[in-house]
Amino acid sequence: MYSFQFEYIIREFDESILNKGIYLSIVHANKIPPHIGVVVDGKYFSLKAKGKDENVPVKELLRILNRKNIVSLFVSISIDLSNEKVLQVFDGFEKAIAYESSCLSPVKQLFELGEGIQMLGDLLNELAEKKLISLVYGCNVPDDYKGIPKYDINAIHERLEILASKSKQHV
């Protein structure tokens, strides 16, 4: 069962593709819950339980994804979004906190989406409905991959609580 099934061809790519344009990044696209962020003209941004990634060169992200063989997608989104706007939105967050904010929170603000969007499947369905998805690129995607696994909002908060407790143990 899927919360979003890809009816797009998932294309292979090289990192230069991500150096121009806006992409929704979906890391661990085969896990529950996946992690999302955005790539704007080659710079990666994401909100995490331990803080946030801002202005990370996408080649650094790709190096980690390939080294660890992490199934990931980069969904090309047809909107205008500046690096400055992304930094401004991410400045409003310190880290993802269970029952308060998740990796989806800044993405919803960036894409100007309402409160009805609570999970990645909701986001992808909304973007598809508005015809804002143009292409989908994959990294380490198995041939039989079909879509984002179905999960509920509790899976997100439970994962954030686990990650928060792990980070407290390492302090």
Task: Supply the mean pLDDT for the chain.
Answer: 92
Label the pairing between strands 133-139 and 10-11: parallel
- Residue 169 pLDDT: 57
* Residues 6+ away with beta carbon under 8 Å from 14: none
Position 167 confidence tier, pLDDT thresholds 50, 70, 90: low
110 three-class SS: helix
Q: Which of the four pLDDT bands, split at 50, 70 and 90, describes residue 164? A: confident
Residue 2 pLDDT > 90: no
Q: Give the CA distances from residue 100 to residues 80, 97, 106, 113, 160, in Å, rounded to whole numbers and listed in that order.
A: 27, 5, 12, 17, 10
Q: What is the number of alpha carbons within 13 Å of residue 12 lying toward its C-beta?
A: 4
Q: Which domain holds residue 138?
A: 2-169
pTM assigned to the model? 0.93
Q: What distance in Å separates the CA atoms of residue 170 and residue 50, rounded to the nearest whole number? A: 11
Report the distance separating Cα 63 and Cα 126, nearest Å: 30
How many domains does the structure of the chain reveal? 1
Q: How confident is the model at residue 15 (pLDDT cuts 50, 70, 90)?
A: confident
User: Stretch 75-91: mean pLDDT, rounded?
Assistant: 94
Q: Compute the average pLDDT of residues 130-150.
A: 93
